[in-house]
Amino acid sequence: MALSLRQRQRDAVVRMLNLNHPVISGGTADEEVYKVLVYDNFCRDLLAPLIRVNDLRKHGITLYLGIDKERQNVPDVPAIYFVQPVQSNIQRIIVDASRGMYEALHLNFSSSLPRPLLEELATGTLKSDSLQRVAKVYDQYLEFVTLENGMFSLAQPLSYVQLNDPAAQDQDVEAVVESIANGLFSVLATLGVVPVIRCARGGPAEMVAGVLDSRIRDHLVSRNNLFTEAGHMGGLGTTFQRPVLCLFDRNFELSVAVQHVWSYRPLVHDILNMRLNRVNVQTDGKRIPYELDDSDSFWVANANAVFPQVAQEVEVRLSRYKQDIEEISKKTGANAEDFDDNELMGSTTALKKATGSLPELIERKKIIDKHTTVASALLGEIKTRSLDSFCSIEDEMLSKGSVDKSFIAHLKGKGTKEDKLRLAVVYLLAVETAPPAELEAVEAALRESEVDPSAFLYVKRIKSLNVSLSSAQAASKSNLGVWGGQFYEQALSSITAGVKNLLSGGRQAALTRVVEALMEGKPSPETDSYLVFDPRAPKGSTGAASVSKGPFKEAIVFMIGGGNYLEYGSLQEFAQRQQPTKNIIYGTTEILSGNNFIEQLAVLGRKMGVGGSTPASSS
């Protein structure tokens, strides 16, 4: 049985909304209780892509309010709190309880509430004489955001900067590692599995793996039932096969995070700034929000397709829709002359059928409209920034490891500053040893177009410190079709004709290859040095047991320091190609577009003292 994280999380949330009573399948547990939901910002982000207002209503939630917004008394109504276990929230809860805002407080914390805070809560409510208002205290272990069935984010911003900051103190790094391990623990508790942990030697990945391993160990000893409980709740959830948790550090492969992309979902994320499965598309000066998630069949089908193919697909759907409409109008309209009794009966049923199928058709129309708008917005951006050429150059560089001389011209041509910077960084990562003259030229070109080169310089410095950084890229060479460049001048509708089908999965990400090797469990030069943590195994015998070597059917891949949809798509494609299909969940500390990541690199560059406001001094 597949690990569906999103479903598990939704089930957990629904159970919480029903005051933690088990939910009878399909129905609501206690329909007669009307409740108020109070959440903080983190939990709002968690809930927003997961559950809609009408679902909330179905479970008896009448009002949903932010904890730090101004709230008014709603006496005689129980309230469900879903917040992070932090002190400010505890203080707010105590205030609410003492003021008697709601009849009863059902407290749910997104992860484990530390003992001191629980004591603070107890003292606070005792002091204000409002103890009886606290009905329940629950740890929900839900401190992560699931965006797709196989993708989650811990929503911990700037973790790459924090982990790679040269000036960072040990305790800062430890705190970050701790919170990442905490989030991962939540994920595992929700899934109800104890995985085998694999990670590369050294770096944040090993630190996280160590902390997580000891946490799971402690937990399995003391309160054994968190994992077994989840297994029971999932029914068939307990598989004999344990998944493998692969931890990676962003430094493992930087180029994926900065390169330009060409398939649909990464494009939408990168260009239109998709956040929590929602994009705002600017049309006629108005910003219209669109939802893009698992419920959208088109999105699911075409997420990894390259952009021209998506445009084509929109056309196909549109024509099919038109055809269906025509058919219906023919059926209902044509036979009206025959006033035979039976025929009349027949035509009314046809009419009925037509009205029955209308909602479905409307739904389809909506999806088509949505994707047409999104695709044309993308097309506009692609045209103005000539992203296609950026994309093709970067891909060529990464796959061949050599550079076309013309790319410096691109640094001076179209595109935003970030685009140029990203191209330059990809160039650095792609070529193993760049000739100094060329580096000079690149820097000069960057400066010419007034780009802050600190990110570029940071990567340059890192690279000189650690030559092996780019070795991962050098290994991934395969031929790639040349990008066709001319079709953007045509309108969206005519793209369908005569487009060269471009490859997207031609070059496999280094991450995917390593994950494949780890899942196979066969010895390979790339993964032999990887550490093994098995929380189930007795202490001391790490790595010895054969069970922790695989092969694995299920994997959780976690990228520390920010991931993106390109990697997710690559892993997904790999999982589906396999026979029988494997199941991979991809997670990351935060989801970053290329521009976001380059900003983080720039921050690091400035901290390191390279670049900054006076780029001339650093070169």
Partner 1 sequence: MSIAMGPSTSGRDRTSEFHAIVDRLKKTQGATLPYANGSSNGAVANGNGETARLLPQPSGNLQSEFSKRASQIGLSIHQTSQKLSKLAKLAKRTSMFDDPAVEIQELTSVVKQDITALNAAISDLQQICEMRNDGANQTKQSSEHSTTVVDTLKSRLMNTTKEFKDVLTLRTENLKVHDNRRQLFTASPNKPANPYARQGPLASAAAAPPSASSSTTAALPPWGNGATRSNELFSSSRRRHTADGPDSTQSQGRLQQQQLAPVQDSYMQNRAEALQNVESTIVELSTIFTQLATMVAQQGEVAIRIDENMDESLTNVEGAQNQLLKYLDSISSNRWLILKIFMVLITFLLIFVVFVA
Choice between 29 and 499, CB closer to partner 1: 29
Distance CA 444, CA 408 (A): 10
Residue 62 φ then ψ, to 5°: -95, -35
CB burial of residue 346 (10 Å; 0-12, 13-18, 19+): middle
Locate tokens 């088509």: which residue? 368
| 44 near partner 1, judged by CB under 8 A | yes
CA separation, residue 228 to residues 19, 165, 225, 481 (Å): 22, 39, 5, 50
Residues numbered 405 to 424 that lie near partner 1 (CB under 8 A) are none
User: Where is 136: in which H helix or E strand?
Assistant: strand 134-139
| 38 near partner 1, judged by CB under 8 A | no
Residues numbered 70 to 89 that lie near partner 1 (CB under 8 A) are 71-78
CB of 274 to partner 1, least distance (A): 14
CB of 87 to partner 1, least distance (A): 16
Q: Which residues pair with 283 in a beta bridge?
A: 286
| 383 near partner 1, judged by CB under 8 A | no
CB of 228 to partner 1, least distance (A): 9
Residues numbered 272 to 291 that lie near partner 1 (CB under 8 A) are 276, 278, 280, 287, 289, 291
Nearest Cα neighbor of 308 from 482, 489, 502, 491 is 502
Specify the stretch interacting with partner 1 by CB under 8 A; choose among 28-36, 377-385, 402-410, 450-458. 28-36
| 340 near partner 1, judged by CB under 8 A | yes
| 135 near partner 1, judged by CB under 8 A | yes
Choice between 75 and 540, CB closer to partner 1: 75
Specify the stretch interacting with partner 1 by CB under 8 A; choose among 221-229, 384-392, 466-474, 564-572. 221-229
CA separation, residue 99 to residues 93, 95, 126, 128, 464 (Å): 10, 6, 13, 9, 61
CB of 279 to partner 1, least distance (A): 12
Distance CA 183, CA 160 (A): 16
Q: Which residues pair with 83 in a beta bridge?
A: 109
| 6 near partner 1, judged by CB under 8 A | no
Handedness of CA 295, 301, 306, 311 (dihedral sign): negative
| 33 near partner 1, judged by CB under 8 A | yes
Specify the stretch interacting with partner 1 by CB under 8 A; choose among 43-51, 204-212, 353-361, 466-474. 43-51
CA 512 to chain centroid: 16
52, 99, 383, 500: which one contacts partner 1 (CB under 8 A)? 52
| 355 near partner 1, judged by CB under 8 A | no
CB of 416 to partner 1, least distance (A): 24
| 220 near partner 1, judged by CB under 8 A | no
First-last CA distance in the chain: 56
Residues numbered 479 to 498 that lie near partner 1 (CB under 8 A) are none
Q: Give DSSP secondary structure letters for 75-97.
A: TT--EEEEE-S-HHHHHHHHHHH
Sheet holding 531-533, edge to edge: 145-148, 151-153, 583-588, 554-560, 244-249, 196-199, 531-533
Specify the stretch interacting with partner 1 by CB under 8 A; choose among 45-53, 498-506, 536-544, 603-611. 45-53
| 90 near partner 1, judged by CB under 8 A | no
1, 95, 126, 475: which one contacts partner 1 (CB under 8 A)? 126
Residues numbered 96 to 125 that lie near partner 1 (CB under 8 A) are 103-104, 106, 113, 118-119, 121-123, 125
